Structure 1
Amino acid sequence: MKSFSKWLAALVVSAAVMFISLGYFASSQIMFFKLRDVEIVKRRETRAKRMNMEEYDKLPKDIVNVPSRFGYDISASFIYPHQTNKWIVICHGVSENKLSSTKYVNLFKDMGFNCVVYDARRHGDTGGVDSTYGFYEKFDLETVIEYLQENYGDDIEFGVHGESMGAATTLLYAGELSNQAKFYISDASFAKFRDQLTHIYTSYSRVASPIVLLFTYIFLKVRSKFSLYHVSPIKVVDKIEQPVLFIHSKRDSFIPYESTEQLYDKKKGPKEQWYPERGNHVESYNRNPKEYRQTVSEFIERYAGWEVQNNRRQ
């Protein structure tokens, strides 16, 4: 009996050590994941003909370090090829940087709008120790928008476009902090960060997933002071008064498009949805450029009342 008790105790201790280790490892991967190098992004976007650096460099712009409330600088580019008070603030996805948003700069520039792109917390040239998937990032988005309003005209009108983590950040900003934008475009957001982690963990082990998620929650709370339960756009999307266009490709294997369906259903007031058949995660524009442009331009014209120029790329 004693030997059995010792064996059982050893088993429990071993299991606890294993799950604690997995929780610590998982929280490290979440907070400090590997970022894509800027030069790699340049080569990828150039080869795909979504970026022409010579054309991009010629665009009139101000490259600014905007002070974050968290003690680091936010690297932002305010791009103004048009004499207009209408701007689009663009938020990139996880592991990317502001150059990844060049395709959207081209999209909105061709529609006649000015653009803001910036590196999210810990990404590109922006400071910050860890990534929090919208928890702290939404405040940096608010700071960039405040800088835009304070420095580029008293009559600024703006919309916000975000993809993946940037889409979640956009919805959290709109639902928790401000409703100043004319509209929001959410491309491939998760509904709940907790569910997204569960989706990833379950692909490795259905049995261990809930326990690893618990220890991940504990370590994130201790190490970064944020709760994964508070990174939940679906909890605040019904508070967004402005129109929202929800986009999500049906073949997204990283964030299931059903997450965006849930967000759309919860959103009150003006909203639209589009779920293209082609494209994996954040590839809706890459794989369906003409349809993407048409969907976005019609949404902006209908809900913001902005005149969209017709010089769209073929």
Structure 2
Amino acid sequence: MKALKYVFATIIVLCIVFVAGAFALIDYALSTSDRNRTLSYEYMERTYPETRPWMDSLNAIHALRDTFVVLSTGNRQHAIFVANPKAHGRTALLVHGYECDAAQMIHIAHLYERVLGYNVLIPDLYGHGMSDGDVAQMGWKDRLDIEDWLRRAPSVFHTPADSMRLVLHGISMGAATTMCVSGDPTPSYVRCFIEDCGYTSVWDEYSQEMKKRFGLPEFPMLHITSALVKARYGWSFKEASPLNQVAKCRKPMLFIHGSNDKFVPTAMVRPLYEAKPGKKALWIAPGSEHAVSYKDHKAEYTRRVADFLRYNL
């Protein structure tokens, strides 16, 4: 009987430890950092100096604008946008990564607006930038907000829906969001998708990060954490699967990944690419680490995007 009490006591202690660890993991993985758009712009201008004169010219004519909307999910979200008078309906909706904001997609906005002549719309995802929320949704519930932005794009740019041609382009968690959107029904003017270094699923991403950073296996911590996220936020790590969504995508997609990506391992792009039916293209950026393929290969990145859009937008 005494031994049985020790067993029960040990089980109770372990349960407490695992649940406490799971809550700590949720806080570590999903809580977003302080938000400072000024610092984001300053960082981007240092890293991508070509954006500074472009942004100065936009600000001089009040072309770089902000908008706040309450989406169908009930979230109040912020976005920045630029209407290019020569776009003729060509539009890029850009999706930023984890712990980033709309300002940190300015380099890709420069590519689209300045180089390719597109309208550009960049939302702050839930829990990021100037939008509502205090946790990351890792692309899964974010897809619902982005789908709302897609429906609003014609009104944002005062363009009839039948005159719009739109590409959805995301990086990192924004790429995961893009792929999650791709498996759902989208308006006919959404012509194609570009994902840059997105993960196969939230489960896969957290599993490899737990092993790499903490030396921990999936079981039981990831299972408990996922269950708590499901109870608390309404989604689970395995449910949040860009891989499953890509398998349902019927519109063209360009996959981009750095060959030296350790954060979202380069190997993840292979099953994503293979799962995608229909028209698709893949570029592995030589030597690039996570989310810097454009920085490392600006001319080639621009050419790959422009060529893909030429045939699919």
Common topology (TM > 0.5): yes
Quote how far apart the aligned CAs of 1:208 are. Answer: 4.1
The corresponding residue for 2:99 is 95
Moved more, 77-86 or 97-106: 77-86
Distance 1:93 1:75, change over 3 A: same
Please, which runs of 5 or more residues in structure 1 have no aligned partner? 305-314
Residues 23 and 212, structure 1, Cα contact 8 Å, conserved in 2: yes
CA separation in 2, counterparts of 1:106 and 1:12? 56
Distance 1:273 1:124, change over 3 A: same
Picking from 171, 178, 186, the partner of 1:163 is 171
The corresponding residue for 2:155 is 150
2:80 equivalent to 1:74: no
- Please tell me the residue identity of whatever aligns with 2:68: N
The corresponding residue for 1:219 is 228
- Please tell me the residue identity of whatever aligns with 1:105: A
The corresponding residue for 1:104 is 108
The corresponding residue for 1:248 is 257
Tell me how many residue pairs correspond in the alignment. Answer: 303
CA separation in 2, counterparts of 1:35 and 1:139? 24
| CA deviation profile, 1:207-235 (whole Å, cap 9, x unmatched) | 54321101111110111111222210111
Picking from 126, 132, 136, the partner of 2:137 is 132
- Please tell me the residue identity of whatever aligns with 1:106: H
- Please tell me the residue identity of whatever aligns with 1:238: A
The corresponding residue for 1:259 is 268
Residues 42 and 51, structure 1, Cα contact 8 Å, conserved in 2: no
The corresponding residue for 2:208 is 199
2:89 equivalent to 1:85: yes
Quote how far apart the aligned CAs of 1:244 are. Answer: 0.2
Distance 1:122 1:50, change over 3 A: farther
The corresponding residue for 1:141 is 146
Residues 66 and 78, structure 2, Cα contact 8 Å, conserved in 1: yes
CA separation in 1, counterparts of 2:51 and 2:234? 38
The corresponding residue for 1:281 is 290
Residues 35 and 96, structure 1, Cα contact 8 Å, conserved in 2: no
Indicate the RMSD between aligned Cα atoms, in angstroms.
1.8
2:47 equivalent to 1:41: no
Residues 92 and 167, structure 2, Cα contact 8 Å, conserved in 1: yes
Give the TM-score of the pair, scaled to structure 2: 0.91
Quote how far apart the aligned CAs of 1:120 are. Answer: 0.7
Residues 175 and 198, structure 2, Cα contact 8 Å, conserved in 1: yes
Quote how far apart the aligned CAs of 1:94 are. Answer: 0.7
Please, which runs of 5 or more residues in structure 2 have no aligned partner? none
The corresponding residue for 1:294 is 303
CA separation in 1, counterparts of 2:229 and 2:85? 43
